């Protein structure tokens, strides 16, 4: 599932290629991917120019401008489990395009393809007010300067959720999923089952540092590819080789002699080292 580093990589790829291009034609091949009725969707995008490409949490946000230069709303793309935004140059076909969902023809002859094998992704159109309200309902961006150690500690102190589940809650912090929650907790040496409001001030500081370090490293590696995730140019991210606990149950910890374990919290898998991240019940 694409998380912050994968979506950030896609956004950077789009900024370098489709910014200031205009949508010429929109071909909806899989209507179930749209959160907006097809006719409204097509009308809202036709002849709109892409004046911005940004990320909010795990979503790609295209800011649009009308041909007369006025604001034209936003297109929000949530990639779901296996969504891709692939750029295909004029006259080319993409060998990766086995499950095209929506084709956006751009005025320079290139195509932006929304591709989704499992079809849990969603594309929606919003006006700026709707978008601002939605964006404000989400937690802070962990790589922004506003996300301080004090802010994290304050957020944790107000919840008795397990810290792994807390990290996955997009209303508390944006962009984190199973992979980076497990990796950040390992680096911070905090057990995933610990209650958020039971982290010590030092643990909260370590977690803040770990979240930022893990996410920034993963962005530099172009994200983590296990199966479906690809960049806009169809390439794989290389962060999988840097993972210390995620999907490594039964293997040796890279820091001690322990064996990585997996537990299920709120229906989601958390990976951790029982030696490096002692259970809160056993902690002194």
Q: Which is nearer to Zn ion, 62 or 272 (CB)?
A: 272
Enter the tokens of residue 209.
């540092």
Residue nearest to Zn ion (CB): 253
CA angle 182–187–205, rounded 5-degree value: 105
Shortest distance in whole angstroms from residue 5 CB to Zn ion: 23
Q: How far is CA 210 from CA 16, 189, 222, in A?
A: 29, 9, 18
Q: Which of 48, 55, 56, 58 is catalytic?
A: 58
Shortest distance in whole angstroms from residue 106 CB to Zn ion: 49
The rounded distance, in Å, linking the Cα atoms of 15 and 10 is 9
Say whether 158 is catalytic.
no
Q: Which is nearer to Zn ion, 19 or 259 (CB)?
A: 259
Say whether 248 is catalytic.
no
Q: Which is nearer to Zn ion, 116 or 261 (CB)?
A: 261
Q: Which residues pair with 224 in a beta bridge?
A: 238
The rounded distance, in Å, linking the Cα atoms of 46 and 25 is 6
Say whether 142 is catalytic.
no
The rounded distance, in Å, linking the Cα atoms of 128 and 256 is 50
Q: Which is nearer to Zn ion, 169 or 275 (CB)?
A: 275
Shortest distance in whole angstroms from residue 284 CB to Zn ion: 18
Q: Which of 236, 268, 274, 280 is catalytic?
A: 268
Enter the tokens of residue 153.
């500690």
The rounded distance, in Å, linking the Cα atoms of 90 and 48 is 19
Say whether 198 is catalytic.
no
Chain contacts with Zn ion (rule: CB under 5 A) = 253, 255-256, 258, 273, 275-276
Shortest distance in whole angstroms from residue 1 CB to Zn ion: 25
Mind telling me the catalytic residues? 2-3, 58, 268
């Amino acid at each position: 599932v694409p998380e912050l580093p994968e979506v950030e990589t896609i956004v950077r790829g789009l900024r370098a290629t489709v910014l200031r291009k205009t949508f010429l034609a929109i071909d909806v091949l899989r209507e179930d991917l749209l959160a907006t009725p097809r006719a409204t969707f097509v009308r809202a995008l036709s002849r709109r120019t892409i004046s911005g490409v940004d990320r909010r949490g795990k979503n790609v946000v295209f800011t649009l401008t009308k041909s007369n230069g006025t604001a034209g709303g936003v297109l929000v793309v949530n990639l779901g489990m296996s969504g891709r935004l692939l750029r295909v140059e004029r006259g080319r076909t993409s060998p990766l395009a086995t499950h095209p969902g929506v084709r956006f023809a751009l005025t320079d002859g290139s195509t932006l393809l929304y591709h989704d094998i499992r079809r849990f992704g969603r594309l929606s159109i919003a006006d700026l007010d709707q978008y601002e309200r939605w964006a404000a309902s989400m937690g802070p961006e962990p790589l922004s300067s506003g996300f301080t150690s004090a802010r994290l500690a304050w957020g944790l102190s107000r919840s008795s959720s397990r810290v792994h589940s807390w990290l996955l809650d997009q209303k508390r912090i944006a962009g984190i999923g199973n992979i980076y929650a497990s990796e950040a907790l390992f680096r911070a040496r905090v057990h995933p089952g610990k209650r958020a409001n039971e982290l010590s001030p030092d643990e909260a500081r370590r977690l803040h540092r770990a979240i930022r370090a893990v996410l920034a490293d993963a962005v530099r590696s172009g994200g983590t590819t296990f199966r479906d995730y690809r960049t806009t140019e169809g390439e794989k991210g290389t962060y999988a080789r840097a993972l210390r606990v995620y999907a490594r149950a039964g293997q040796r910890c890279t820091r001690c002699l322990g064996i990585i374990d997996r537990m299920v919290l709120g229906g989601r898998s958390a990976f951790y080292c029982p030696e490096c991240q002692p259970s809160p019940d056993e902690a002194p």
